[in-house]
């Protein structure tokens, strides 16, 4: 029998996708609506509860006031009461049972009666009252005296006060306490709105997301960051439409790490991404996660991500990421490292937990990428790294112009000239130059901000109260240019020119300028000559300073550190010293991974001495070779040094033009030259 019933039409794949996308969009919108509703509802509950607690406190005060005994007349002492009753002057008396008070009236002494000295201080007649202890004995004595006196006695049980007392003393305080706890609870549930925030350790407090959109920061507000903006455009695209990425199975950017010197616009860029995508922007400083209380940081991370998820797509920006994301274990584990580890773990868990459609991008900023935990930098976490450099001259000009947009700057101001005067300034410094200049013009009652004000502002920023010390004097600039040109020429001479793609005099950390060397040795087998070439190249900066200027400087500190480490590896790890033989002297580098430095194995003192001597020989020879290479290419080297001093940064093809004529004469490693007979170093 054939089945003639019509079969339901198969959904067309395109239609199905569209349907799935619509369902997802609907769910997302619903989640957001609920989040918004929960938030307003929660806030309303907090207010209502607050008002209720206030009312209860007022009732409590009113109750206490009501319970306070209020009796007209004069308080009398027990002696005076005894005297009054002894003289039969008390006419009426009422025992106020709840107040433990006896209140009554007395009359003037009978005419001709002898005045009692005890009652002399009292008015002739009137009302009186007396407190008595709550005991049958006291009550009995007083009643006895009054009966003897012949006064009319009454007992007022004050039963209305019994109820008020029970409510005021027992019930109201309990209700107030419950109300306060309720406030704390709703406060913490609302992410810190309300009194709850006071003890709300585990939440990020009142921190609110700023929403991007019209009027917020955009890429147009960030100057000198073309590369970074290009990289970040993809993040913007993802945030605008996260479900599109899920549909095509693309892995979206999850974590973006911005690194660069302070004030170069990392926060500004992150805000601009939020602004461009029109999504909420949650900003926290890494230090806010690190509390002395263990567990609080982790709870804060959870809270932050929960809130971001509620309004996704969103950006979570963690400034000073190194404060929370420092390398775990290893060297320098000071107090609170447990806490930091927990916080870091929580951060990793949260980042791993996003679905593609979650639409959350975490952006971190740091000046110290080197101390970040490697786990943070793995794929799926902060796997996009964007370096933001100090701006070069055209970049500085662009930033100055950007900040001048909203200021009444005189049309004859030469921004290119000002940019040339501000080598080493960060974006933040340039922003404050324009601001200081405007303030100066204001003080001088000028209509526009002119070059003199801006020049004065540069001086202020340079020598301001903070004492910057990163801006170069002409002498420093020349020295750094010589140093960096030395690295570059040596790199070309040892055959590693392709590894240098950018040299700059702009200060970076303690070491002055920088020669950016492309990585490339990971996983490669490197020969002794190549390693020695790298050593020569590393020491060439210092050699150049000695060759041209006659003295070394502190600028070579970092170079010396890397050169010593490399030389140590050559002889102690790779066994490339003919004198020490093919042995591994350095301990396993387990600690290196954890942030410590690999130490020497337990060497006998003689072997240690030999290692030390060999290290000095290798380093000295490498420096001498560097000097020889530079001297041989002196013309090119001088030209590059002066070109660099002028241009501040030379990169790419421009650098190749300088270096193409460098004589390629790589020195061979001392280990592969004829050497002295090996010395026995015995352990
Ligand atoms: P830190 O490392 O100290 O947190 P940062 O790199 O995050 O600094 P921002 O806070 O983004 O620096 O910059 C501070 C201010 O400097 C910005 O608000 C902006 O006014 C100005 N600024 C910095 N860089 C730029 C830039 N590239 N273009 C325009 N303005 C900039």
Reduced to 3 states (helix: H, G, I; strand: E, B; else coil), residue 157 is coil
pLDDT class for 511, splitting at 50, 70, 90? very low
Q: At residue 554, what are phi and psi to the nearest 5 degrees?
A: -70, -15
Lowest-confidence region among 21-35, 344-358, 423-437: 21-35
pLDDT class for 546, splitting at 50, 70, 90? very high
pLDDT digits (tens, 9 = 90+) for 312-331: 788 888 888 887 777 665 44
| pLDDT reported for residue 416 | 87
CA 131 – ligand 1 centroid, Å: 74
CA 379 – ligand 1 centroid, Å: 27
Of all atoms in ligand 1, which is nearest to the CA of residue 391? Answer: 27
Q: Whose CA is nearest to atom 18 of ligand 1?
A: 268
| pLDDT reported for residue 642 | 92
- pTM beyond 0.75, yes or no: no
Ligand 1: which of 218, 219, 261, 263 to mutate, most ligand atoms within 8 Å of CB?
Answer: 263
Mean pLDDT of the chain: 78
pLDDT class for 543, splitting at 50, 70, 90? very high
* Residues 365 and 232: beta-carbon distance below 8 Å: no
Is the pLDDT confidence value at 592 over 70? no
**8-state DSSP, 587:** P
**What residues are annotated to the active site?**
484
Of all atoms in ligand 1, which is nearest to the CA of residue 221? Answer: 29
pLDDT class for 161, splitting at 50, 70, 90? confident
* Residues 264 and 388: beta-carbon distance below 8 Å: yes
Ligand 1: which of 265, 366, 424, 430 to mutate, most ligand atoms within 8 Å of CB?
Answer: 265
Whether the link from the prior residue into 313 is cis, omega within 30° of 0, is yes
Q: Which two tokens stand for residue 370?
A: 């080197």
| pLDDT reported for residue 4 | 41
CA distance to 73, 74, 115, 278, per residue, from 123 (Å): 10, 9, 13, 83
For the chain, give the percent of residues with pLDDT over 90: 15
CA angle 594, 600, 605 (to 5 degrees): 160
Q: Whose CA is nearest to atom 8 of ligand 1?
A: 263
* Residues 330 and 594: beta-carbon distance below 8 Å: yes
* Residues 223 and 399: beta-carbon distance below 8 Å: yes
CA 458 – ligand 1 centroid, Å: 17
The radius of gyration of the chain from alpha carbons, rounded to an integer in Å, stands at 41
Q: Whose CA is nearest to atom 1 of ligand 1?
A: 262
What would the mean pLDDT of 480-497 be, rounded to a whole number? 90
Of all atoms in ligand 1, which is nearest to the CA of residue 261? Answer: 2
* Residues 667 and 532: beta-carbon distance below 8 Å: yes
Residues contacting residue 152 through CB under 8 Å, at least 6 positions apart: 91, 92, 93
Is the pLDDT confidence value at 603 over 70? no
| pLDDT reported for residue 597 | 44
CA 432 – ligand 1 centroid, Å: 10
Ligand 1: which of 428, 430, 509 to mutate, most ligand atoms within 8 Å of CB?
Answer: 428
* Residues 343 and 349: beta-carbon distance below 8 Å: no
Of all atoms in ligand 1, which is nearest to the CA of residue 262? Answer: 2
* Residues 216 and 256: beta-carbon distance below 8 Å: no
pLDDT digits (tens, 9 = 90+) for 231-242: 898 889 888 887
CA 642 – ligand 1 centroid, Å: 31
Residue 416 burial (CB count, 10 A): 12
Contact residues of ligand 1, CB 6 A cut-off = 222-225, 262-268, 319, 365, 367, 399, 402, 427-428, 431
Of all atoms in ligand 1, which is nearest to the CA of residue 270? Answer: 11
Q: Which two tokens stand for residue 249?
A: 């199975």
Q: Whose CA is nearest to atom 3 of ligand 1?
A: 262
pLDDT class for 465, splitting at 50, 70, 90? very low
Ligand 1: which of 267, 285, 394, 435 to mutate, most ligand atoms within 8 Å of CB?
Answer: 267
Of all atoms in ligand 1, which is nearest to the CA of residue 223? Answer: 28
CA 598 – ligand 1 centroid, Å: 38
| pLDDT reported for residue 26 | 65
Of all atoms in ligand 1, which is nearest to the CA of residue 319? Answer: 4
pLDDT class for 621, splitting at 50, 70, 90? very high
| pLDDT reported for residue 371 | 79
Reduced to 3 states (helix: H, G, I; strand: E, B; else coil), residue 127 is strand
Residue whose C-alpha is closest to residue 36's, from 422, 307, 381, 219: 307
CA 268 – ligand 1 centroid, Å: 5
CA distance to 139, 140, 143, 157, 255, per residue, from 104 (Å): 15, 17, 13, 16, 84
Q: Which residues pair with 78 in a beta bridge?
A: none
| pLDDT reported for residue 28 | 60
Q: Please write down the long-range contacts of 418-423, taking CB distance under 8 Å and 24 or more positions apart.
A: 418/451, 418/454, 418/455, 418/458, 419/393, 419/394, 420/393, 421/455, 421/458, 422/396, 422/458, 422/471, 423/393, 423/396, 423/471, 423/472, 423/477, 423/505, 423/506, 423/648
Q: Whose CA is nearest to atom 15 of ligand 1?
A: 428
Reduced to 3 states (helix: H, G, I; strand: E, B; else coil), residue 421 is coil
CA 494 – ligand 1 centroid, Å: 39
d(CA 43, CA 196): 11
What would the mean pLDDT of 73-86 be, rounded to a whole number? 87
* Residues 433 and 421: beta-carbon distance below 8 Å: no
Beta strands 90-96 and 152-156 are parallel
Length of the chain: 683
Ligand 1: which of 431, 432, 466, 508 to mutate, most ligand atoms within 8 Å of CB?
Answer: 431
Residue whose C-alpha is closest to residue 650's, from 489, 538, 471, 521: 489
CA 316 – ligand 1 centroid, Å: 18
pLDDT digits (tens, 9 = 90+) for 177-203: 988 888 777 655 554 433 433 344 445
Of all atoms in ligand 1, which is nearest to the CA of residue 429? Answer: 16
CA 431 – ligand 1 centroid, Å: 8
Q: Left if phi > 0, otherwise alpha if psi is -120 to 50, otherwise beta: which for 290?
A: beta
* Residues 559 and 544: beta-carbon distance below 8 Å: no
Residue 551 burial (CB count, 10 A): 7
Residue 526 burial (CB count, 10 A): 13
Q: Which of 62-66, 85-89, 205-209 has the highest mean pLDDT?
A: 62-66
């Amino acid at each position: 029998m054939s089945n003639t019933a019509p079969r339901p039409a198969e959904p067309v794949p395109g239609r199905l996708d569209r349907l799935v996308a619509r369902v997802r969009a609907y769910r997302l919108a619903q989640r957001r609506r609920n989040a918004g509703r929960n938030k307003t509802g929660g806030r309303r509950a907090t207010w209502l509860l607050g008002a209720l607690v206030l009312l209860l406190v007022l009732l409590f005060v009113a109750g206490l006031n009501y319970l306070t005994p209020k009796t007209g007349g004069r308080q009398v002492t027990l002696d005076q009461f005894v005297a009054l009753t002894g003289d039969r002057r008390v006419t009426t008396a009422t025992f106020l049972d709840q107040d433990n008070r006896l209140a009554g009236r007395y009359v003037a002494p009978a005419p001709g009666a002898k005045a009692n000295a005890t009652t002399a201080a009292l008015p002739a007649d009137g009302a009186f009252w007396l407190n008595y202890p709550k005991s049958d004995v006291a009550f009995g004595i007083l009643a006895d005296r009054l009966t003897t006196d012949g006064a009319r006695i009454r007992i007022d049980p004050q039963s209305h006060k019994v109820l008020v007392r029970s409510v005021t003393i027992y019930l109201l305080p309990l209700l107030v306490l419950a109300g306060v706890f309720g406030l704390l609870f709703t406060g913490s549930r609302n992410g810190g709105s309300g009194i709850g925030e006071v003890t709300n350790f585990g939440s990020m407090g009142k921190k609110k997301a700023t929403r991007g959109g019209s009027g917020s920061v955009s890429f147009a507000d960030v100057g000198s960051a073309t590369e970074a903006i290009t990289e970040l455009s993809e993040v913007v695209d993802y945030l605008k439409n996260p479900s599109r990425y899920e549909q095509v199975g693309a892995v979206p950017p999850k974590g973006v790490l911005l690194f660069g010197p302070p004030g170069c616009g990392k926060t500004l860029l992150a805000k601009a991404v939020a602004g461009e995508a029109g999504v909420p922007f949650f900003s926290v400083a890494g230090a806010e996660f690190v509390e002395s209380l263990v567990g609080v940081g982790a709870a804060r991370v959870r809270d932050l991500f929960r809130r971001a998820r509620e309004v996704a797509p969103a950006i979570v920006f963690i400034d000073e990421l190194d404060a929370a994301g420092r390398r775990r274990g290893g060297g320098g584990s000071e107090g609170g490292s447990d806490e930091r580890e927990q916080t870091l773990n929580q951060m990793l868990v949260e980042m791993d937990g996003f679905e593609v459609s979650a639409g959350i991008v975490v952006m971190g900023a740091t000046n110290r990428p080197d101390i970040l935990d490697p786990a943070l930098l793995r794929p799926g976490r902060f796997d996009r790294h964007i370096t933001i450099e100090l701006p070069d001259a055209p970049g500085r000009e662009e930033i100055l112009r950007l900040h001048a947009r909203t200021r009444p700057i005189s049309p004859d101001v030469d921004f290119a000239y000002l940019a040339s005067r501000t080598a080493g300034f960060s974006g933040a410094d340039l922003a404050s130059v324009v601001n200081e200049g405007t303030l100066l013009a204001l003080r001088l009652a000028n209509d526009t901000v002119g070059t003199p004000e801006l020049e004065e502002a540069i001086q202020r920023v340079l020598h301001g109260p903070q004492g910057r010390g990163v801006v170069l004097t002409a002498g420093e600039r020349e020295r750094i240019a010589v140093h960096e040109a030395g690295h570059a020429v040596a790199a070309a001479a040892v055959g590693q020119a392709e590894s240098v793609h950018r040299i700059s005099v702009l200060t970076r950390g303690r070491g002055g300028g920088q020669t950016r060397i492309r990585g490339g040795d990971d996983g490669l087998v490197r020969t002794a000559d190549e390693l020695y070439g790298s050593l020569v190249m590393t020491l060439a900066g210092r050699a150049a300073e000695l060759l041209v200027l006659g003295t070394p400087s502190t600028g070579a500190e970092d170079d010396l550190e890397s050169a010593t480490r490399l030389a140590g590896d050559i002889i102690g790890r790779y066994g490339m010293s003919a004198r020490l033989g093919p042995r591994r002297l350095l301990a396993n580098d387990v600690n290196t991974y954890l942030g410590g430095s690999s130490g020497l194995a337990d060497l006998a003192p003689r072997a240690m001495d030999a290692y030390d001597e060999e290290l000095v020989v290798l380093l000295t020879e490498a420096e001498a070779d560097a000097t020889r290479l530079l001297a041989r290419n002196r013309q090119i080297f001088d030209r590059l040094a002066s070109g660099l001093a002028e241009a501040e940064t030379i990169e790419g093809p421009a650098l190749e033009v300088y270096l193409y004529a460098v004589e390629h004469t790589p020195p061979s490693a001392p280990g592969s030259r004829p050497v002295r007979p090996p010395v026995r170093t015995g352990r």
